[in-house]
Amino acid sequence: MLSRSFCLGLCVFLVALLYNKWKDGLNGLDDQEQTIITFWNSSIKEPDRQFKRIVVGTNCNLDLIVSGVDLLQALHEGPGDPQDSVHLATIDDLVNTFTLYFVKGSAAERAVTNAKVFKEIIQAAESLQKKHHYIGGNAALMAVKISELYPDAQVQLVGPIGPALKDLIPSNIIVPENSLITEDEVHLIMEYGLNEQWDNLRSPVANRFITSYDESNSKLTMLNKFFKNLGPFNPDLVILSGLHLLEMQTHAFVSDKLQAVRNGLGGIPRNIPVHLELASMANKDCVTQIMQMVASEVSSIGLNEQELTFASYVGGGPHASYYNEREGQPEIHKISDMVLWLLKTYGYSKKNPTSRLTRVHFHSLTYHIIGSLPDVWFNSESAVAAGTRIAGRQACDTKALSPEDIELRIPKTFKLFSGSHDIIFDENNPVFSWEKDGFHFVFSPVLVCINPSKTVGLGDAISATGLMYSSFKFS
């Protein structure tokens, strides 16, 4: 009996000991995330000069948000062959392309070329019990985020705005009469969650796939009105988006529109920063035209891993094959090399004094990097930190991050750029910078929302927040 009691007591002691060690381990993880949150909250500073008058354009639409898997099941479709299509002409094209990005866990956007096919898809989406309608389009989402963060700023939104979308837009955003259209343009957002099961497939991260059949945005019908409204409004920051929607047009049409973009941008004084927000593309020719005709005409570019790796792939940049090889989160040193390549290839320098490009803001699920000319852009440490903080807050739909809702997913050791020594990440100093070839780089990890409420518009919120925490001076 004594031996049995002793064994029972020993078992209880060991179980309690193991439980406390397990609990301490969890608390240690929470402490890591809390340390980063505390650092952000104490170190993020407003810029010395705040942008007060912002014009944003041109892609605006009504978003219809559904579960991607639920929608395809409603269409009686299972997983397809994971292969990309630049344009979606059939349901099979949608299934195969969605399958590819579901497996990769990457955000993507593809246009439907057949109005009848898109109508069938939308009807199936509207038949689902779980669906939501929101403000959509990079321009509209960035305008809304700025108006939320800075209600005293004057924000003008120029783009195709239909009746349902107009009702959703906050009243403090200025919408010119010439932006209103009679019928909303609808974009379909097919979301999926972390480790979501789809037959024999599982998603590695939470993300979304976007598709649309959009006449107004895909042809940039509001472009002339966008530039025409700039002068009377007298902005101190200009944000342009929607060029990615041109990729379903002909080469000649794209060239004409991008020339109109160049002409319009050429009329904006160089002391007014112009930010270009990119989005997912698969048309090599269109991306090449955008980079060659527009990249040097803007002051700042915002983009994610799909857009950056594809630009390097089609432009002959570093790690060009990485676009097709990459799986999971992008390697930090390769992304840093590509950001530097963008700045050196298209950016302002003594060899290229006519360019106005001086900043690139890269954002991904797990970390962000801003590369810039340090004597043109200021407060970049706060800008990148504010961008990563807003990513977690918006994904979790909360005003304050809690350690139990988020997690750090970057590797513990990594290189800052090719050829550099490995560094060990320190949560006590999560935002850090380095210099490379005359450019200033700043890095911050994202605290990834474990169960995100909404994945749409994260990149737009990130870029808008990063811009509003930045100062600009270009003489």
* pLDDT tens, residue by residue, 213-239: 988 999 999 999 999 999 999 999 999
Averaged pLDDT score across all residues of the chain:
92
Query: What's the confidence (pLDDT) of residue 453?
Result: 84
* pLDDT tens, residue by residue, 436-449: 999 999 999 999 99
Nearest to 140 by CA among 162, 124, 111: 162
Write down the pTM of the prediction: 0.84
Q: How far apart are CA 373 and CA 444, in angstroms?
A: 18
Query: What's the confidence (pLDDT) of residue 30?
Result: 64
pLDDT over 70 at 212, yes or no: yes
Query: What's the confidence (pLDDT) of residue 322?
Result: 95
CA distances from 143 to 151, 249, 282 (A): 11, 26, 26
DSSP state of 129: S
237: left (phi over 0), alpha (psi -120 to 50) or beta: beta
Q: What are phi and psi of 57, to 5 degrees?
A: -165, 170
Q: What are phi and psi of 159, to 5 degrees?
A: 175, 175
Q: Are 454 and 338 spatial neighbours (Cβ–Cβ below 8 Å)?
A: no
Average the pLDDT over 385-413 and give the result.
96
* pLDDT tens, residue by residue, 150-179: 999 999 999 999 998 999 999 999 999 999
Q: Catalytic residues, which ones?
A: 460
CA angle 115, 118, 120 (to 5 degrees): 110
* pLDDT tens, residue by residue, 115-137: 999 999 999 999 999 999 999 99
- Report how far Cα 48 is from the mean position of its chain's Cα atoms: 26
Instruction: Work out the pLDDT band at 12, boundaries 50, 70, 90.
Output: very low
The rounded percent of the chain whose pLDDT value lies above 70 is 94
Query: What's the confidence (pLDDT) of residue 327?
Result: 82
Q: How far apart are CA 457 and CA 24, in angstroms?
A: 36
pLDDT over 90 at 343, yes or no: yes
Q: How far apart are CA 10 and CA 268, in angstroms?
A: 77
Cis peptide before 345 (omega within 30 of 0): no
Q: Are 56 and 158 spatial neighbours (Cβ–Cβ below 8 Å)?
A: yes
Query: What's the confidence (pLDDT) of residue 239?
Result: 98
Pull the structure tokens for residue 373: 């000319």
**Residue with the larger pLDDT of the pair 265 and 9:** 265
Pull the structure tokens for residue 231: 């002068």
DSSP state of 44: -
Place of tokens 């990729």: 247
